[in-house]
Structure 1
């Protein structure tokens, strides 16, 4: 298996889990928080998708899907357009409300497609390219992509947990 195939498989698994966590949920369930300090499914999936969008665009010299395909205006959140959810307060988490599962999945699927187009062109040598010198050691593209996948899987697992808790209520 080549590196690009491995990355595609990992990002495909993220997409499958996002769909499993979101499909069929009402806006009330998507936006529900188990308590005032908890993240909603909407916030978790929006955040993991925003971070993936931001990091893939940065690494690949691409435009973010969020702005280039006007998802930011479709979501119409009371947040700065460049917000990814990193460091959000409880109030900012609460501001991420979605009107439908289709909106959330549409954005995720659009980011997924850009991600797959990008990783399809990568070879092993590309993964060694330094993409962030603000860390010791500097972060390579390979490390950044694995970090995104790991973060995505953690957040989608949290969304699946919230879905299960809501369904047991």
Structure 2
């Protein structure tokens, strides 16, 4: 298995997790916060997708899908287009209430497609390239991509947990 194949598999698993957390839920269920300030499924999926879009576009030298394909306009959120959800206040999570599964999964699929298209062309010698010198040690491409996968898996797992709670309440 090549590095590219490994990354494609990892991002494919993220996709399975995202779909598993979202499919079959109503727009209302996607926006439920289990308690005030808690992350909703809609916010978790939007955030993990925004981070993947932001980070992969940056290392690939591409424009983010969020702006290039008009997703920012479709979501109509009260945030700057550059916002990824990192560091947002608890009250801002509610802005994703009313976002449909179709919109969330459409944006996710567009980002997934760009991500897989990029990582499919990578070879092992690409991974040690330094992509961020703000850290000590500097962040390599390989570390950045694994960081994105890790973040995506954590947030999709959180979304699956919230889904489980919601389904038990039905």
TM-score, length of structure 2 as denominator length:
0.98
The CA distance in 1 between the partners of 2:55 and 2:99, in whole Å, is 26
**Residue 27 of structure 1 corresponds to which residue in structure 2?**
27
Q: What is the CA deviation profile of residues 33-88 of structure 1, one whole-angstrom value per residue up to 9, with x for unaligned ones? A: 00012100000000000000000000000000000000000100111111100001
Q: Is residue 142 of structure 1 aligned with residue 167 of structure 2?
A: no
**Superposed displacement of residue 94, structure 1:** 1.3
| Cα RMSD for the two superposed structures | 0.7
Q: What is the CA deviation profile of residues 95-118 of structure 1, one whole-angstrom value per residue up to 9, with x for unaligned ones? A: 123431011000000000000000
**Residue 95 of structure 1 corresponds to which residue in structure 2?**
95
Query: Any gaps of 5 or more consecutive residues in structure 1?
Result: none
Q: For 2:144, what is the secondary structure of its paired residue? A: helix
Check the 8 A contact 2:28/2:97 in 1, yes or no.
no
Question: How many residue pairs align between the two structures?
Answer: 169
Query: Any gaps of 5 or more consecutive residues in structure 2?
Result: none
**Superposed displacement of residue 90, structure 1:** 1.2
Q: Where do 1:1-169 residues align within 5 Å?
A: 1-169=1-169
Q: For 2:9, what is the secondary structure of its paired residue? A: helix
**Superposed displacement of residue 92, structure 1:** 1.2
